[in-house]
Chains A and B, each alone.
Chain A
Amino acid sequence: MSGAAGTTMVQALNTALRDALREDPDVHLLGEDIGALGGVFRVTDGLAAEFGTQRCLDTPLAEAGILGTAVGMAMYGLRPVVEMQFDAFAYPAFEQLASHVAKMRNRTAGRLPLPVTIRIPYGGGIGGVEHHSDSSEAYYAHTPGLHVVTPATVADGYGLLRAAIASDNPVVFLEPKRLYWSSERFPPTAVAPIGQAVVRRPGTDATLLTYGPSLPVCLRAAEAASAEGLELAVVDLRSLVPFDDETVCAAVRATGRAVVVHESAGFAGMGAEIAARVTERCFHHLAAPVLRVTGLDIPYPPPLLEHHYLPGVDRILDAVARLQWEQ
């Protein structure tokens, strides 16, 4: 599915769901408003018409019930794909996620794996009112048993979602709302591997480590730095769990300087984990401490103030400037 202007992230996700539904009769979608409406972001547009309302099921407005029902469906051998309407609306399902989805394989010694994909639109930058802009990835990444992935490109929107649905692990699939309408020229067709970070821009002077909605910001920062003579490498993590230490560490060792960039709050966030891992593994290659550029440690602000919260090019370049170049 693509138009004259190329393929958007929404279209890529829609195609991934359609292809999965076509190829595997066990794949079932369930969520709020995903049928006739096609989802509030239209990611499931046309799927109920093509595959029927049972395989693209409009559920009652009850997130724990949605995920709990998906658990039971997976126990019977189906491969449910759940849509949570917004990041903050997924919190009622957290008990099902933490106590059952994440643990069922482990507590049954591998006898009852749950191949459930949980799609969650996340992050801000879209002018959303309260409870529509949370970045909740750290909660999920901190829960053993879950894979947590997030695409930053249209191609990965397709490729990672296909991989998530095909995976026998439960996968939290975080969709950056801000990138839903980003587009690429060619419609994506390839499955992307879970657990592999990718270098989006090579660089020799410092390495930006980022994911999801912050990738385009980092690429713009790298472009700006290049104009001033600094070549920044940009790594797109893609998969928060499993974490690709190898690619990340190789990219950091190559430059000796690193900045982690994400829009969720910094305290006890992914950046803390990444900075610690990089320091533990690359200490002797580092010319400066690993820095973080993140959202502020406040509840997500009202939309008219969100640009102060979100990491921007200036804050990233400020951090790069603080990487002890004087030595």
Chain B
Amino acid sequence: MTILDANTTPGLAGQPSSHGPRRDAAPLLPEREPVRVLGTEAAGTVDPDLLRDLHRRLVLGRRFNQQATTLARQGSLAVYPSSTGQEACQIAAAMVLRETDWLFPTYRDTLAVMARGVAPMDVLALMRGHTHCGYDPRRYRTAPLSTPLATQACHAVGLAHAARLRAAGDPGGGHDVVALALIGDGGTSEGDFHEALTFAGVLNAPVVFLVQNNGYAISVPLTRQSAAPTLAHKAVGYGITGRLVDGNDAPAVHAVLGAAVEHARSGRGPVLVEAITYRLDAHTSADDATRYRTSEEVEAWRARDPLTLLERHLRGAGLLDDAGLAAVTAAAEELAASMRAAVARADTPDPRSLFSHVYAEPTSQLREQAAALAARLADEASTPATPATPAEAQA
């Protein structure tokens, strides 16, 4: 025995114990190829009801994206970041969660939020410009759509950690909660992504990170974003399990995410799932994607449209006929019509609400500003409209 053999831990032979045991990276590594179900033998083993449910939700989601994009073009929404092409990720993310679980979405994850039960136009309140968040986060256990990228991943970790603390003091109290954070490929470059995974690993928090890798952060391609072998490999550096899945294969995403959520719930640690997908639309209604990607590339991905892939399988397996498709399409049209009707009802937010929720109690300064605004509004209401300029007065 040499001096180096003294005071060692099993995992770190020859060194003092201060640095803790070394972990084996192999079990954390993602699969070499993305997990697929459609087009494989596994497809035949998936519950047909689940497949039909996925399909119905994908059709509704696609129509929601189309209608919202149209509403943005018509000026009824300030902007809309479409997730067309990414519907399988969005829908599966919401479906694998229990009602008591929490979802932490980004601005593009409107379909996931709708799938949590939030009314379509409440999901779009942010884009309509009425309010920053149109739904009650506690009621739907869904955080507000996060625009600062990856910041919400830290919140997911904190919430999952808090739930586990509560569960320790109140076993059986319904605190076996999992938090699911949605992130994009660009978001994995943010510092908060790094810090969220660091904390998740150290706290062993029941949290799942779903990276929807659509290949672009607005215009910057993945090759300019990261030199990682895959984004799923990033998990390993934090002691977290990495998984890789075909993000356009709805039953595959559902299976991998479902397993990840139960992995986290059972206390076996956080999971990072990278879903490889593609944004068929531009970044938002205000973006011009032709400046940074070719139509050939878009067409190649259109052939791998998640809705097409699933529909082809359902048709081939005899799980969907013309009548079934017509019923789903009719439901989607009904959804779109309800969205058009909702924006047609002109409702302007009350300006007096501006001061309502800055603090628990308004400060004296806010009360002064609120009184000044109220007085101005009262003036405007009592004064007949006057021409703004002499030129207008003459016209």
Contacts and interface: CB of A to CB of B under 8 A. Distances in A.
Contact of B159 (A72, A100, A110, A245): A72
Contacts of B357: 105-106, 108-110
Interface residues of A, number: 49
A111 B162 contact: no
B292 interface: no
Nearest to A60: B198
Given A62-B195, A106-B357, A108-B132, A68 B151 contact: yes
Interface in B84-123: 102
Contact of B192 (A68, A107, A147, A169): A68
A75 B356 contact: no
A62 to B, nearest CB: 4
29 contacts: A25-B169, A54-B168, A60-B202, A62-B194, A62-B195, A62-B199, A64-B151, A65-B195, A68-B158, A68-B195, A69-B155, A72-B158, A72-B161, A72-B179, A77-B166, A95-B151, A96-B154, A99-B148, A100-B151, A106-B357, A108-B136, A108-B144, A109-B133, A111-B136, A169-B359, A169-B360, A241-B363, A242-B365, A243-B363
Contacts of B148: 95, 99-100
B155 A113 contact: no
Contacts of A109: 131, 133, 353, 356-357
B191 interface: yes
A75 B165 contact: no
Given A80-B158, A145-B358, A242-B364, 15 more contacts: A59-B199, A62-B194, A62-B199, A65-B196, A73-B158, A73-B161, A76-B162, A78-B162, A78-B165, A105-B358, A106-B357, A144-B358, A167-B360, A242-B365, A245-B365
A71 interface: yes
Interface in A54-92: 54, 59-60, 62, 64-65, 67-78, 80, 92
B365 A243 contact: yes
B365 A75 contact: no
4 shortest interchain CB distances as A-B pairs = A72-B158, A68-B154, A65-B195, A107-B132
A53 B298 CA distance: 52
Given A25-B169, A245-B365, A71 B154 contact: yes
Contacts of B215: none
B270 to A, nearest CB: 13
Contacts of B162: 72-73, 75-78
Contacts of A99: 148, 151
Given A95-B192, A107-B133, A112-B137, A65 B161 contact: no
Contacts of A68: 151, 153-155, 157-158, 192, 195-196, 199
Nearest to A76: B162
A76 B166 contact: yes
Contacts of A100: 148, 151, 155
A144 B154 CA distance: 22
A195 interface: yes
A108 B143 CA distance: 9
Nearest to A113: B360
A314 interface: no
Given A78-B165, A105-B359, A72 B137 contact: no
Contacts of A64: 151, 154, 191-192, 195
A326 interface: no
Interface in A2-37: 25, 28
A65 B363 contact: no
Contacts of B168: 54
B160 interface: yes
A246 interface: yes
Contacts of A70: 158
A64 to B, nearest CB: 5
Given A100-B151, A105-B357, A75 B132 contact: no
Contacts of B133: 107-109
Contacts of A92: 191
Contacts of B365: 242-243, 245
B232 interface: no
A56 to B, nearest CB: 13
Contacts of B22: none
B165 A60 contact: no
B391 to A, nearest CB: 36
Contacts of B198: 60, 62, 65
B163 interface: yes
B38 to A, nearest CB: 35
B333 to A, nearest CB: 32
A168 interface: yes
B235 interface: no
A169 B361 CA distance: 9
B163 A76 contact: yes
Contact of A69 (B154, B169, B191): B154
Contact of B360 (A54, A95, A168): A168
B134 to A, nearest CB: 9
Contacts of A95: 148, 151, 192
Contacts of B161: 69, 72-73
A103 B363 CA distance: 16
Contacts of A69: 154-155, 157-158, 161, 199, 203
A147 B154 CA distance: 23
Contacts of B358: 105-106, 144-145
A111 B356 contact: no
Contacts of B19: none
Most buried by B among A54, A69, A195: A69
Interface string B345-369: 0000000010011111001110000
Interface string A238-267: 000111011000000000000000000000
Contacts of B192: 64-65, 68, 95-96
